[in-house]
Structure 1
C-alpha cells in the first residue's frame, strides 16, 4: 500500500516521500530589495534537513510592479540568481527536490481593462524568470495560477471578460498559460519539472476540472490544487457543488481529490493538514499523490521528523533510514 514514505519519480527526479512544503511566503525573513537573506536560507535548510519530500520555494516575483508586498523574493533581474542558487544548493545538499514558484500579483477584477501590451510585457518577464530559475539550479518551476493572482484572474470566466487574445472563450482565457509553456518548453527536459498551482474553483469546481485537464495536455508535470477566484455568491465554507457532508477535511483539499480523478499526472492537495495521520489518510486511500503541509511546518519544529516517527510507530516499524 502506498504511504507517506513511498517514493515517487517525476521524470528523472525522485521524490523520497509524499510530503511537500508548499510555497509559504516568509515576508518576515525577506528585505524590501527582494534578495535572499541568511534567515531565509536557515528556514529552507531546517525543512530540507528534516527530509521533507519536496520543497516549493515561495512566490518569487517576475517584476517589481507585480509584488504582493515590498518584502517579497524577486527574480526580475540576473542579480537575483546568486542568492536563489544558495536556496537550490540546500536542496541538493539534502537530496530534496526544489521547485520555485513564479508569480505576479495581477490586477484583480481590473484584469478586464489591462492593455494587451502590458500583458505581452509580463509574459516576456515570465519567460525570462523561467530561464533564471533554471540557471539558479532548481529542479523545476511552479507557475502560480491560484489565489486570485494574475494567471488566476486570466483563467477565471467570472473575472476575465476581455475580448482579445487574452480573454473571451476558454482557449483565449488560457492563452497566457499556453504561450508561456510553449515558449519555455526547451527548458523542461527530463531533469526539470513543470508544476502549476491552480484554483480548483475557477469559479466552480467544474471549471477547475476543465483547467486541470487542459494544463495536463499542455505538458504540466504536476498540479497543486488550491483556491481560485470564486463566485462571490458561492458559499465556500459551507458547500462546494456536491461536497459530501461526511468528508472529514477542508473543502479546498477536497477539490484536489476530485481533480485527481480527472488527470493522469500527480496532484498535490493542500489546506489545514496538521498531523501525520491526516496526511496519511489522503495518501493511503489514493485520494492524492502528495500532501502539502504549510503552517504546521512553521509552528511545529521538525514536523517531518515527527511525522515519520508517528507513521512508523503506527505500523509497528523502526526508522532504518537514520
Structure 2
C-alpha cells in the first residue's frame, strides 16, 4: 500500500531509494564556530540508518555573521570541510543522499550570536529582533554575499555533500530580496519582480559556475508568506519557472515568515499535510521534483499525498526526530511500531527558542545517539523491578529496564495506561498523544513485561512481591484551594475528572485556573458548546505553554467562544455563581465550577515504602510536576542504569 512512497526518484543523476526526506530543522548541535561535531554527525547518521532516502541539513551559515542562533553549522571557511566529510561518509554508507542547506538569515540574524549588525535589503527590523536595525546592503555587499553562497557551496561539494539547498523561505535574506514585504529598494535589486529575483538568480549562477552541472541544487521557498504585502502563491508560481530555468533541480515548499511562524512550524492544532495544496500548485508550474512538508507524521498519509499528485517527495521533519526509523518500519508494515510526532513543539522548537540544544519530548535519544550514557547495555546483575504507575515516565522506565535484561512488572490503579498524559490527550487537537502511549504499551508487550491495570499498589503488595527496586511513577494530586469559600460545594469539580469523563458539567462553566491544564479543560468544554469563562490571577493564560502552540490554543479557545478573565481573583463560590474581583468585579453565573489550579507530587506510597526499607526510585511528576518530555527522559535513563 506504500508503492509510491517506496519507489525511487532521480534528481540530477542521484537516485533516491524512496520518497522519504528529512527536511531541515535547527538543532544547535554544532560548535559555536560552525564546526561539525560527533553529536551532529551521529544525529544525522541515525536517520540515514533508519531508511530516509535524502537528508537536508539545518541551515548552514555562509559567513561567520550569518547566524540567528549560537551553535549552527557553518561552511564559511575551509577548516569546516573535514568535519562535514566525516558526516557525509557516515550517511552515504546507508545509500542516503545528503544535502547542505545554505543560508544567510539577513535581518533575522541575531547581534547576540553574530557579534555584528545584521544585513538586509532594506532597513526594516525583524519582528523577533525588533530592537535591532539591520544594515541596508550596498551593491558591493550584495555581490560579496553572492560569492559567499557560491564559496560555501563549493566547500559543501568538497566535504562530500551531494548538493546544496538554497534557503529561500521563512523570511531569510534570499526571500527578503524576493518579497516586497521586506524589499523597499529602488535600484536594480528592488521594485519589479525581475529585479527582486536578481539576487537569487545570481546565487544560482555562482553556485553552478563553482560546483558544476552535476551537483544537486535545491531551492526552498515559502509559497505564501502569510503576511500583508508578502509573497502569495500566485507570486510564487510566477517565480518558480525562472528559478527552474536558472538551474534548480528540486523545490521544497513551505509557507510563512517569522511574523506567522506558527503556520511555518505547525503545532498539534494543524491538520495533517496542511501545506500539500501549496506544493501541488508549484508542481503544476514545474517539471522538477517538489517536496511538501507540514504535519506529516504518518507514511500512509504521505502515500495519499503522492497518489494525489500533490508532491513528489515527502518531508518528515519532526517525525524523523520522534522516530528516525520511520521509513524502515513502514516499509516492513510495522506501523504500530512507529512513534508518531504529536506536534507539541516542546523539545524541538521550545528548546531552540530558549538557547538550548534541540530534543524530542518522546524520543530521549535525539542528540544522544552516540552518548554512552544513553546506550543499551545488558545488566550484569539483573534485578526484579516493580514499576508503580503506567504513565509515560513509568512505562519508559519499564521499557528501558527490560531492554537491559531486568525482570519488570508495571502496575497502575487506573483502567487505562497513560496517567496524566492520557488525560492530556482528551482536549481538542491532542488525540495523537494516545498513539504514543499505545506505542509504549506495545513495546512492553514485545518485551513480555506484564502490565497490571485496575490494581492499587499497597505496601503489603510490594512486600509480598519482594522487588529489588520499586520505581515510583505515581504522578500527581490536584490542588484544592480550601481557603476559597464554597470550594466544597457539590457544583465544584476537578478538571482532571471532567477530562476523564468521571463527571459531567452544566451548561455554564467557570474554570478556576488559567495555566495550560485549565485552558485545555476550558477548550474541551467550549468545544462541547458549553458557556465557559476562565478565571486566572496572572495577566495571561496558558503562560506555561510554548509560544506557537499557545497561540494556536488561544485561537481555538476563542473560536469555541470561551472567555478569559485575567488579573482576576476568585473570592467566593456559590451554588449558582462565582464571585470575582480584580480586573473584573462581578458575579459570574455558573452551573459548574471546575478547579484546575495546579498539582502536587503524589509521594505517599514512596515515603511509606522507604520507611519500610524498600529501595525506591521516584521519577516523573511524582518527583516534580512538569512536561512529559522530562519525565520520559528521566524514566529512560533510570531504566538504563538501575
- TM-score band by shorter chain is 0.7 to 0.9
Where 2:7 maps in the other structure, the secondary structure is: coil
The 4+ residue runs of structure 1 with deviation greater than 6 A are none
CA distance in structure 2 between the partners assigned to 1:110 and 1:13 by the alignment: 35
Q: Aligned-pair distance for 1:19?
A: 0.6
- Equivalent position of 1:221 in the other structure: 249
In structure 2, C-alpha distance between the alignment counterparts of 1:75 and 1:58, rounded to whole Å: 12
**Counting helix residues as a fraction of each chain, which structure ranks higher?**
1
The aligned counterpart of 2:237 is 209
Residue 16 of structure 2 corresponds to which residue in structure 1? Answer: 15
- Residue of structure 2 in register with 1:240 after alignment: none
Q: Could you give the per-residue CA deviations for residues 124-180 of structure 1, whole angstroms, max 9, x where no partner exists?
A: 211111111111111111000001111111111222121112221101111111111
Matched, 1:148 2:171: yes
TM-score (norm 1): 0.86
User: Is 1:115 the counterpart of 2:115 in the alignment?
Assistant: no
Aligned to 1:69: 69
Partner residue in 1 for 2:316: 293
Structure 2 partner of 1:283: 306
Unmatched tracts of structure 1, length 5 or more = 238-246, 314-322
Pair 1:24–1:229, CA change in 2 (3 A) = closer
Judging changes above 3 Å, is the alpha-carbon distance between structure 1 residues 190 and 7 closer, same or farther for their aligned structure 2 residues? farther
- 1:187 is displaced (CA, Å) by 4.5
Q: 1:226: how far off?
A: 0.7
Alignment partners' CA distance in 2, 1:103 and 1:226: 15
What does residue range 1-322 of structure 1 map to in structure 2 within 5 Å? 3-27=4-28, 29-107=29-107, 111-113=121-123, 114-116=136-138, 117-187=140-210, 189=212, 191-202=214-225, 203-229=231-257, 249-310=272-333
SS in structure 1 at match of 2:166:
strand
CA distance in 2, matches of 1:206, 1:231: 20
Structure with greater Cα Rg: 2
Equivalences, count: 301
Distance 2:283 2:321 in 1: 27
Q: Tell me the SS of whatever aligns to 1:58.
A: coil
Give the TM-score of the pair, scaled to structure 2: 0.45
Residue 229 (structure 1) shift: 4.2
Matches of 1:236 and 1:6, distance apart in 2:
30
Preserved CA contact (<8 Å) 1:139 1:193: yes
Distance in 2 separating the partners of 1:231 and 1:66: 20
Segments of 5+ residues of structure 2 without an aligned counterpart are: 109-118, 124-135, 226-230, 265-269, 337-642
Higher relative contact order (CA 8 A, sep 6+): 1
Residue 181 of structure 1: CA displacement?
1.5
Q: Distance in 1 between matches of 2:324 and 2:24?
A: 17
Change (3 A) 1:230 1:74: closer
| Cα distance in structure 1, aligned partners of 2:259 and 2:65 | 27
Cα drift, residue 94 of structure 1:
1.2
Instruction: Summarize the Cα distance change of 1:197–1:147 in structure 2 as closer, same or farther, 3 Å threshold.
Output: same
Post-superposition offset of 1:56 = 0.8
* Alignment check: 8 A CA contact 2:153 2:211 kept: no
Structure 1: how far apart are the matches of 2:39 and 2:273? 32
8 Å contact kept, 1:36–1:84:
yes
User: What is the CA-CA distance between 1:83 and the residue it aligns to?
Assistant: 0.7
